Structure formats: C-alpha cells, structure tokens
Chains A and B, each alone.
Chain A
Amino acid sequence: MQDDRQPILSVRNLKTSFFIDEGIVRAVDGASFEVHLGRTLGIVGESGCGKSVTALSILGIVPRPGRIVEGEILLRRETENGQSQEVALTSLGESSSEMRAIRGAEIALVFQEPMTSLSPVHTIGNQIIGAARLHRKLTKQEASELAVELLSLVGIPRAEGAIDAYPFQLSGGLRQRALIALALSCDPRLLIADEPTTALDVTTQAQILDLLRSLQEQNGMAIMLITHDMGVIAEMADQVVVMYLGRVVEEGPVDTVFGESKHPYTQSLLRSIPSIHSTPKVQLPTITGTIPHPYNRPAGCPFHPRCPDVIPGVCDMHEPELQTVGDEHLVSCFLYHPVPEPSSQRSEATTG
C-alpha cells in the first residue's frame, strides 16, 4: 500500500490564465491543495471561481486561449520496488503521449453535464469500449464484457442492453452513471468529479453521491469533488477547499471548516444553506453583490467589496495570504493574521 500520509496529487501555487483580447483573466490564481488516496477533497465556490479550470489544468486540457502560467502539479506513483515517484504533470507537454497515458488511465474526469457529455451519435458501449481500449490491451470482446461489468457496477439495470443504448435514450441519472462507468474504465486512482450532480434532481443526486462513495470504498481511489453545493460537500468530503475568484480562501478538514469557519466568505456560504431549524417564510441570508468578472478583480482581498467584516484601508489595499489558524486549518483573511508592513507589500498590492 502507498503511504496514506503522502498525497497522490499535490497542486502547488497553480495559476491558469486566459489571454483574451480584453486582457488577462486569471481564472486560477495561486491554488494549492493535496489529494489523498481513499479520501475525498471537496472544492467549493460560486460559479466562475475557477473550480472547473482547476480540474482542466490538472488534466492538462485547458482550452485555448488559456494556459497554466505558474505552479506545479505533482502526481505520485508507485514504482516496481514499492518506492514512490513523483511526476510533474506541468512539465509534460499537453498532447505528449506521457500526458495522454495519464489522462483517463490514472486521472479520470466526470464532467458536469450528463446531457451533453456523451456523444449523441455513438452508443454508450462504443464510448466506454473506446476509452478502455485506449489504455488497456483488450480485445473488442473483452472490452465489451468490461463495459457491461462497469455499467452494472454503477447500477445501470439490464447492462447487457444498455451498452447498445444511445445517451438520449437514458434518463439524466442513468446518463451520469454511464459517464462514471466511462471514467472508471481504466481503474483511475484519482477521479475528478466536476459538479456531478448539479443537473440532476435531488433523489438522483443522493443516489449518485452514494454510488461515488461506495465505489471509493471498493477501489480506494481518491476523489476530487467540485461543487457549489455546501450540502454535497458536507455529505461527501474529508477535506474542503473553498475558492473565491481563483484563490483558495479557506482550507481544512470538513468538520473544522463547517464547525469553525473563519473566512467571512465561507461563513456567508454556510449561512445561505436552508436549514430545518430556520424560521419558515423568512428570506435566507444571501451574499450581497455579485461575483466580479475575473478581469475586473478588485484590488486587495478579492472578496472585500462583498465582505461584511471588511476592514477599510486594509482589505482593499493588501492581499491576504493563506496562513494556518489551527490544526490543518488554513485561511486567507486579515481578521486572523496581521497586516503586512507597507514596504513589503507594495509590489503585490499593485496587481488587480
């Protein structure tokens, strides 16, 4: 077994930018986190905060005109003699054969739209068989047996018939299951699930989450779950990373982040979840304002224009850094750590 303490994936100071005509959009701006085998990392944030781009960056498939401009993504592998070895994904070419051998085989992706994430004109079986045979030496017969096996593993009834079905013949929930089967076809060690339940109704949502959890128990893979739904995070994640405008604002074990949330953004996100204890017919607290366009990133802390606890003269001038506030608990906010000396901050405060 691999050492559980060692992450299979570490992302360090990842910066991914899109170079568009209007300027540079920093979609991910210095994200760092780690993913461990057998555990689930939840990445949470509003739409547009860089969650999906983080996932695409890890797989090396950021669409043009975007690219990774800085940072490291390290994938840990076991070698023959039981030692472990780190591969820097960022140093591999995006379309190199090494990178393609990792995509789908070691790191797989379940994308957010079950309606459009499968080709409409190919059967489910055809797409799973195609993916399986990319990385495994299988005959067509073996691959189609594997496809049936995977489809029944993810709970699709009458899997023998389902491999000949087209995506539009299945319901949203079944389609998402088929997509998970496709992702599992090469036994990945890390599954990135990007909003896997967003397009589904609540009962189907719960079933898909149960499925992901039981699959993780069976094969011990790591899951990186990207969502905007704090409820999903609470149910699934071991570790949580809260992102805002491409930055990690708070990070820690799920109980700590939910129980003793520090960052005002995390606190407002948690307050906006409806609870059975709240008074009926009272409007839920919302976060005021809207998420700014990443091109118009506010100076200082990116959250300061919407922050209830903003410190004038500090938050709009200086950029906070992610710092420890407790056991494995990190937060990036001036409420918890001192404002840096003006002289050392000058260079950073000019960005944005």
Chain B
Amino acid sequence: MLAYAARRLVLAIFTLWTVTVLSFVIIQLPPGDFVDAYMAQLSATQSNVSEQHFESLRRQYALDRPMYVQYLKWMSGVFSGDFGTSMMWRKSVLDVIGDRLAMTMVLSLGAIILTWAIALPIGIYSAVRQYSIGDYVFTFIGFVGLGVPSFLLALVLMYLGFTLFDSDIGGLFSPEYQLEPWSWGKVKDLIYHLPLPAIIIGLSGTAELIRVMRANLLDELRKPYVITARAAGMSERSLVLKYPVRVALNPFASTVGYLLPYILSGSVIVSVVLGLPTLGPLLLGSLVAQDMFLAGTIVMMLGALTVIGTFLSDLLLMWIDPRIRFGMVQ
C-alpha cells in the first residue's frame, strides 16, 4: 500500500513536470511573443509608444533570452511560491488568479454533484425499466442534452430570464456583492446564483452519464448473481440497489479524477457567455495574448488537479472494489 502510494507520488511529480514543460513550449510556439501581440494591440489603438519601451519590456520579462532560460527562471520562481508576473495584467499571477480558482472549484463541484444527483437515479430507472415509456422519454431528453451546445442553452436561458423575469442570470453574484469582501450575505448570494450555471455546465455530462449508467447496469442486471439474489427471495428493489447498482457504480469512481479539468475546459465558452468569474475565460484571454506565465500557471494548476484527482479516484476505487484492493481483476 505504502509502496503503491510512493510509486504514484513519483509518477505524479514526473507527470506534473512534463505538463509544465509542454505547456510552456506550446504556448510559445505561435510566432512572436507577448510584446509583439501587445505592440499590435497598441498600434491598432494608435497609441504612440517608443521602441525603447518595448525593448525594456522584453528585457524585464526575459523574452530576449532563449526559451530554456525563461523556463528555468520561471520554474525557480515557482519553487519559492512565485508564479511570475502576468504581462497582460501587470500583476503577480497569483493575484490575477486569486478567487477565481476557488470559484472554479465551487462551480465545478456544484456541476458534478448536480450531474450525479440527476443522472444516477435516471440511469438506474432507465435500465431497470428498459424500453418503458419513461426510458424512451429520458433517452430523448438525454440525446437533446448531448446535442444542444451548452453555450446556446446559456444564451437562451439568459434571454428568457431577461425578457420574462427581467433579471440578469449571468455571473455568480448580484451586482451589489460583486466587489464586496466575503461575508455571510455574499455566500448566500453565491448559493442563490450557483444552480443555474451548474446545470448548464453539467448538462451534457448529465446526458452522457445517464447513458453510461444505463448501459453499465443493463450489463450487470443480466449477471447470474442477480438471479441468485432473486432466487433467495430478495425484493426486486433492494436486490437491484444492493448488488448490480453497486457493481455498476465502480467505473464512476475512476472518472472522478478528471471530471474537474474536463468540466473546466468544457465550460470556457459558457463561462464567457455567462460572465462567470472562473479560470476558463482567464485562460482563454492569456492564450490569445501569449501571456505565458499566466497561461502556464493555469495549465499547471489544471495538471496538478488532474493528477491529484486521479490519485484520489484510484484510492476511492481501491476502497470500493475489493477486486482491485486485492490486486486481482476478474
């Protein structure tokens, strides 16, 4: 067990290191650098800035040095807790990310919980009552959910909210709390605003999860151990919940790990449309501006979340599935 954890830890560190190198290199692959993008932007607005200013900017961010020097400089900062300076915002990267990381986590967690709470019962129902009217209805809704892009749904809901209820459903806070420091009232305001974006972001995941749960459970329902339990006189409801559902849930434990980055990268457009203060729009902006320290830090954090999440889900899987715990697969 300990050896397993240690091996995983070494692998995790190696994975993270690879992620930082790759993200750093890929972000710089497009021709030019941040200063070029910045110059283009300034000349578009007809501002008059001297050539020396750009040169000093390049020197300040070490853009005139080879890529590996820039990388090493950045990494040595990272180890002392300094993730560099965002060139776009002219602020420390950590300050720019600030609350957004926490907001992203809260929103993603909300989306995941909603997804599971909706999808698992429906998936179980659809499998147990296969080909019933209810199954067909949920299947139809599920395919619509998969087919409709979530940003479109966000736009439609915003329009409806605006025209019918005269309220702005975008954002995670009411305007009066937007810039306030954290307080009990702000938390309540967040809880009030959270469900709608969470539903929109979780929609396609929900539809997919219904299909997966239904298929998993249908496989399990045909296994002989179900007949054994039935022949022992268990009622249908308790036997389905005790045995096949329990087995069908196992694969989900292994997906918990990459749900978070999956939801984040999948929800960039929705976040832009709804004006959500999450990491998604920030990542998009930093990539466009070639703000490599900001983008690199966000990608690295996503990588860390994935690695940690995967490790946790492996532990979870070991805990709930004795076949893995005892090192044997059927």
Interface string of A108-127 (1 = CB under 8 A from B): 11011100111111110000
Decide: B228 and A182 in contact? CB cutoff 8 A: yes
What residues of B have a CB within 8 angstroms of the CB of A123 in the complex?
A: 322
Q: Does A95 contact B (CB under 8 A)?
A: yes
In angstroms, Cα B232 to Cα A134, docked, is 8
Q: Does B224 contact A (CB under 8 A)?
A: yes
Q: Considering only CB atoms, which chain A residue lies closest to B321 in the complex?
A: A121
Please tell me which one of the listed residues A61, A101, A130 contacts residue B231 in the complex, with CB atoms under 8 A apart: A61
With A111-B224, A120-B323 given, name 10 new contacts (CB 8 A): A61-B231, A108-B232, A109-B227, A111-B227, A111-B231, A120-B225, A121-B250, A121-B320, A121-B322, A131-B232
Which A residues form the contact surface with B (CB < 8 A)?
56, 59, 61, 95, 100-105, 108-109, 111-113, 116-123, 130-131, 134-135, 166, 168-169, 179, 182-183, 185
Q: Does B247 contact A (CB under 8 A)?
A: yes
Decide: B224 and A105 in contact? CB cutoff 8 A: no
Decide: B224 and A168 in contact? CB cutoff 8 A: no
In angstroms, Cα B242 to Cα A109, docked, is 19
Q: Does B2 contact A (CB under 8 A)?
A: no
CB distance from A68 to the nearest CB of B (A): 16
What residues of A have a CB within 8 angstroms of the CB of B224 in the complex?
A: 111-113, 116-117
Decide: A122 and B232 in contact? CB cutoff 8 A: no
* A-B residue pairs in contact (CB < 8 Å), sample of 20: A56-B227, A61-B231, A102-B233, A104-B231, A108-B231, A109-B231, A111-B228, A117-B224, A117-B225, A117-B227, A119-B247, A120-B247, A120-B323, A122-B243, A122-B246, A123-B322, A131-B229, A134-B234, A166-B326, A182-B228
Q: Does B328 contact A (CB under 8 A)?
A: yes
Q: Which residue, of B232, B236, B328, has the highest number of chain A Cβ atoms within 10 A? A: B232
In angstroms, Cα B328 to Cα A95, docked, is 36
CB distance from A251 to the nearest CB of B (A): 25
What residues of B have a CB within 8 angstroms of the CB of A117 in the complex?
A: 224-225, 227-228
What residues of B have a CB within 8 angstroms of the CB of A131 in the complex?
A: 229, 232-234
Q: Does B230 contact A (CB under 8 A)?
A: yes
Main SS of the interface on chain B?
helix
Q: Which residue, of B230, B242, B246, B320, has the highest number of chain A Cβ atoms within 10 A? A: B230
CB distance from A102 to the nearest CB of B (A): 7
Q: Considering only CB atoms, which chain A residue lies closest to B237 in the complex?
A: A95
What residues of A have a CB within 8 angstroms of the CB of B236 in the complex?
A: 95
Decide: A134 and B231 in contact? CB cutoff 8 A: no
Q: Which 10 A-B pairs have the closest CB atoms?
A: A104-B233, A109-B231, A103-B233, A104-B232, A131-B232, A117-B224, A100-B233, A166-B322, A119-B225, A116-B224
What residues of A have a CB within 8 angstroms of the CB of B230 in the complex?
A: 59, 61, 103
Q: Does B223 contact A (CB under 8 A)?
A: yes
Q: Considering only CB atoms, which chain B residue lies closest to A56 in the complex?
A: B227
Contact flag A121-B227 (CB < 8 Å), given A105-B233, A134-B234, A168-B323: no
Q: Does B235 contact A (CB under 8 A)?
A: yes
What residues of B have a CB within 8 angstroms of the CB of A118 in the complex?
A: 225, 228
Residues of chain B from 238 to 282 with CB closer than 8 A to chain A in the complex: 242-243, 246-247, 250
Q: Considering only CB atoms, which chain B residue lies closest to A109 in the complex?
A: B231
Q: Does B80 contact A (CB under 8 A)?
A: no
In angstroms, Cα B49 to Cα A221, docked, is 100
Decide: A100 and B326 in contact? CB cutoff 8 A: no
Interface string of B47-91 (1 = CB under 8 A from A): 000000000000000000000000000000000000000000000
What residues of A have a CB within 8 angstroms of the CB of B43 in the complex?
A: none
Please tell me which one of the listed residues A102, A108, A116, A166 contacts residue B225 in the complex, with CB atoms under 8 A apart: A116
Q: Does B330 contact A (CB under 8 A)?
A: yes
Decide: B328 and A168 in contact? CB cutoff 8 A: yes
Q: Considering only CB atoms, which chain B residue lies closest to A52 in the complex?
A: B227
CB distance from A80 to the nearest CB of B (A): 23
Q: Considering only CB atoms, which chain B residue lies closest to A107 in the complex?
A: B231
Decide: B323 and A166 in contact? CB cutoff 8 A: yes
Interface string of B210-233 (1 = CB under 8 A from A): 000000000000011101111111
In angstroms, Cα B117 to Cα A300, docked, is 57
What residues of A have a CB within 8 angstroms of the CB of B223 in the complex?
A: 116
Residues of chain B from 287 to 325 with CB closer than 8 A to chain A in the complex: 320-323
In angstroms, Cα B239 to Cα A119, docked, is 11
In angstroms, Cα B225 to Cα A109, docked, is 11
What residues of B have a CB within 8 angstroms of the CB of A102 in the complex?
A: 233
Contact flag A121-B247 (CB < 8 Å), given A116-B223, A166-B323, A168-B330: yes
What residues of B have a CB within 8 angstroms of the CB of A166 in the complex?
A: 322-323, 326
CB distance from B86 to the nearest CB of A (A): 49
What residues of A have a CB within 8 angstroms of the CB of B235 in the complex?
A: 95, 100
Q: Considering only CB atoms, which chain B residue lies closest to A118 in the complex?
A: B225
Q: Considering only CB atoms, which chain A residue lies closest to B235 in the complex?
A: A100
What residues of B have a CB within 8 angstroms of the CB of A135 in the complex?
A: 233
Q: Considering only CB atoms, which chain B residue lies closest to A126 in the complex?
A: B242
Decide: A59 and B231 in contact? CB cutoff 8 A: yes
What residues of B have a CB within 8 angstroms of the CB of A134 in the complex?
A: 232-234
What residues of B have a CB within 8 angstroms of the CB of A105 in the complex?
A: 233
CB distance from B217 to the nearest CB of A (A): 14
In angstroms, Cα B141 to Cα A205, docked, is 51
